[in-house]
Amino acid sequence: MKIKRKLKKVFTDSTFTDFKQESYSQTGEDVIVKFIFDRLGIKAPTYIDIGAHHPFKLSNTALLYKTGSRGVNIEPDPDLFKSFLEYRKEDINVNLGIGDTNAELDFYVISSPTLNTFSKKEAESYQTEGNYSIKEVKKIQVKTVNSVLVEYVNGKFPQFLNLDAEGIDDLIIKSIDYESNFPIVICVESISFSTNGNGIKNSALIEYIVSKGYMVYADTYINTIFVREELWRNK
């Protein structure tokens, strides 16, 4: 009985709160990313969040923002975009999509907004994979990554790339110049959507990023986090 009372005291002591980890991500990706940059000695990394969705909910950049980082949030849905103007005022917030061209494209608004996509194939698959529907198709301006970098950050790639573009992640990843202008850390959704846990890992995408000088630092099942191998090994 004495042992039980002692354990209870330890776990109810107010000092226990000193060890809490704050996270806004779906599965702790933001804590991992912040740890990587802290180890590299980069206390306030810049970022570009493509498919940002929400300023805080399920965000892989909100923790960085709260601890002093600033960057670019790209969210194509006009309705979702509004909250960035209110809650991420010190970031650069851009209401457009990213693609392989500068054009106006169909944007599929899904009944669950986390699944919004420019991919017709992806949008239609949601209707068969789960209880989702296409609510609306909007015409949204799309620009290339390089166009956005030139327009908003003097052409320099931010240190952290967070990517959740629902079906066009490969296209965006392959548009980056990994020889001269690239992020240090990449977090990308790397599993196909599934409502029954049978998502397929995008091994080709993972292998491609690794071939460009990155190492897999962590995998949270939903996302894979990469760090520039040379920098990490020489830290």
Contact present, 116 and 109 (Cβ < 8 Å): yes
* DSSP 8-state class, residue 158: P
Neighbours of 190 (CB within 10 A): 24
CA-to-CA distance for 64 and 204, rounded, in angstroms?
Answer: 29
**Strands (DSSP E) along the chain, which ranges?**
47-50, 71-74, 92-94, 97-98, 103-110, 134-143, 160-163, 185-189, 214-219, 223-228
The two tokens of residue 174 are: 């392959």
Q: pLDDT tens digits for 46-100? A: 999 999 999 999 999 999 999 999 999 999 999 999 999 999 999 999 999 998 8
CA-to-CA distance for 22 and 63, rounded, in angstroms?
Answer: 8
Q: CA distances (Å), 69 to each of 2, 83, 125, in order?
A: 48, 18, 36
Contact present, 182 and 157 (Cβ < 8 Å): yes
The two tokens of residue 112 are: 């669950």
Q: Please, what are the domains in the chain?
A: 23-98+145-233 (3.40.50.150)
Q: Report pLDDT for 19.
A: 72
pLDDT tier at 185, thresholds 50, 70, 90:
very high
Q: pLDDT tens digits for 115-157? A: 888 888 888 888 877 778 999 999 999 999 999 999 999 999 9
CA atoms lying within 13 Å on the CB side of residue 74 = 25
Proportion of the chain above pLDDT 70, given as a percent: 91
